[in-house]
Amino acid sequence: MDSPAKVSVPTMALTIRFMKSLLLHLFFYFVPLQQLDRMASEVGLTVDSADFARWMDERDPLREFRLRFAYPKLRHLSTVGK
C-alpha cells in the first residue's frame, strides 16, 4: 500500500489561502448576479436588456451624482490629454 503524500506546511498554507480566495471571488460574483437576476425577473425583464438598465438607472439612489461629473464620450477621447 502506498503511503500518503506528505505536504509541507507552507504548501498547505498556500493551498488554504488559494481556496479561501477562490471562494470569496465566487461569492462576490454569483451573489450579486443572483440578486440582479431575481430583480429582473420580478419586473419581467432580463439582466442583459437595455430596459433593465434603464429600470435600474431610474431607481439608483446615487443618480443625481451623475449630473455633477463630466464623462467623456468615445468621440471625444481622441482630444483628451492633448
Q: Exposure pattern of 14-30 as b/e (b: 16+ CB <10 Å)?
A: eeeeeeeeeeeeeeeee
Beta carbons of 58 and 45 less than 8 angstroms apart = no
pLDDT attached to residue 67: 80
Tens digit of each residue's pLDDT (9 = 90 or more) over 41-81: 999 999 999 999 999 988 888 888 878 887 777 776 666 55
Q: CA 41 to CA 52: how far, in whole Å?
A: 10
Q: CA 27 to CA 19: how far, in whole Å?
A: 12
Q: What single DSSP character describes residue 2?
A: P
The pTM of this model reads 0.49
CA atoms within 13 A on the CB side of 54: 4
pLDDT attached to residue 45: 96
Domain ranges of the chain: 9-79
Helices (H) and strands (E) in the chain, counts: 2, 0
